[in-house]
Structure 1
Amino acid sequence: MIIAAKWTIDEYHGMIASGILDNRKVELLKGDIVEMSPEGEPHAYCSDEAGEYLSELLGKLAKIRQAKPITLPNNSEPEPDIAIVQRLGRDYREHHPYPENIFWLIEYSNSSLEKDLQIKSKIYAEAGIAEYWVVNLKKLHLVVFREQLDGDYATKFTLTTGIIQPLAFPDISVSVEQIINK
């Protein structure tokens, strides 16, 4: 039997600081260092446009972090395409956002769809992230995960048009088309 070594967040940060992971596009998922898929043009365009839209829509209510790490208690430090987080200013010089700082997360998926829908959804649910959205770039729809239950999300639904209110901001109406960039 082959047993893979699992890494802690501190060990992962040590590798980053020492330069071992320079020029590698990786993230830590449940103790595994996982290669990240390269961003194609649709992925880069859609996530960038959605980030700008959300920044304008939410204003001072939240900070929009694009392709930056978040730190989760399950030995994970993924880099979601968009993290909508509390505005903590200089605190983020000392640590990446923790689950209690995160309003919701968005991933844009093309080649990483299976990982984002299955692996990352469980990691985010286990960590207590209240809401997680995945944009399927092939089918141009939005998959919404909500209501954590036993380390998974109890609610999952798909939208192609219309308006959605994020759980953290029920008075804010988000255009699905603006997130998908149809």
Structure 2
Amino acid sequence: MSAAREYGLDDQYEWPRPPADGWTADDLDSLPDLPPHTELIDGSLVFMSPQTRFHTQVLRLLENALMDQAPDHLEAIREMTIRLDRRNRPEPDVLVVQVEADTGPGQTWFKPEDVVLAVEVVSADSLERDREVKPRKYARAGVPHFWRVEQNDGLPVVYVYELDPATMAYVPVDIFHQRLKVGRPFPLEIDLTAIGRRGSRA
């Protein structure tokens, strides 16, 4: 199968040709026919591979649990971009943001100061981006909390990081295998073995 068809596009589709100085954050909202969940990293468009069942189930588990347990001034939302700067607009898998950051139904991105937590579920095609590139950018933009989720024997393992404001880099807090329990950014407990369980929300 061609790359175009993989993203639901005609085989004759012509991929966008970048300008000499790269794409900008605003271009993501104006370029026609971009594949779903296209990101901008250092002025280059990054296309997502099709999601695995594990990836989709983890997103549902985390979004539901975060939404259920978040305080009233915060909300969880999936797969929206953060406009870090003119050349970077990555899309975390799950975000926790300030409720007041909602600008309406046409909103496509958040400012980094509106984001409390960014979560990346690592995929085969995104190992380096999720483990190194994106966390470094989130930290420099001041996002206070970051989780990286990996797969081990079909279950999620959550690596929890917190921003050191002195260095603007993330420091590891803990690693959770069966049950995630944290006090920041708010008290939260998630049964990680509940992935894929019908009706489970935490």
TM norm structure 2: 0.72
Bigger radius of gyration among the two: 2
Match for residue 44 of structure 1? 56
Query: Structure 2: how far apart are the matches of 1:33 and 1:151?
Result: 26
Q: 1:127 aligns with which of 122, 127, 141?
A: 141
> What are the ranges of 5 or more consecutive residues in structure 2 without an aligned counterpart?
1-19, 197-202
TM norm structure 1: 0.79
Letter in 2 for 1:53: A
Query: Structure 2: how far apart are the matches of 1:89 and 1:125?
Result: 19
Shift of 1:25: 4.2
Shift of 1:106: 1.0
Q: 1:64 aligns with which of 76, 88, 104?
A: 76
Shift of 1:146: 1.3
Deviations 1:80-125 (A, max 9, x none): 1110001126514456211111110111123123320111111111
Query: Structure 1: how far apart are the matches of 2:114 and 2:103?
Result: 11
Query: Structure 2: how far apart are the matches of 1:43 and 1:152?
Result: 26
Match for residue 83 of structure 1? 95
Alignment coverage as a number of residue pairs: 172
Query: Structure 1: how far apart are the matches of 2:29 and 2:56?
Result: 26
Output the aligned Cα RMSD: 2.7
Question: 1:107/1:13 Cα in 2 relative to 1: closer, same or farther (>3 Å)?
Answer: same
> What are the ranges of 5 or more consecutive residues in structure 1 without an aligned counterpart?
none
- Could you tell me the percent identity over the aligned residues? 23
Shift of 1:5: 4.2
Query: Structure 2: how far apart are the matches of 1:156 and 1:163?
Result: 12
Query: Structure 1: how far apart are the matches of 2:57 and 2:110?
Result: 24
Query: Structure 2: how far apart are the matches of 1:59 and 1:152?
Result: 26
Structure 1 window deviating more from structure 2 (68-77 vs 123-132): it is: 68-77
Shift of 1:73: 2.2
Query: Structure 1: how far apart are the matches of 2:131 and 2:173?
Result: 10
- The answer to which structure has the higher helix fraction is 1
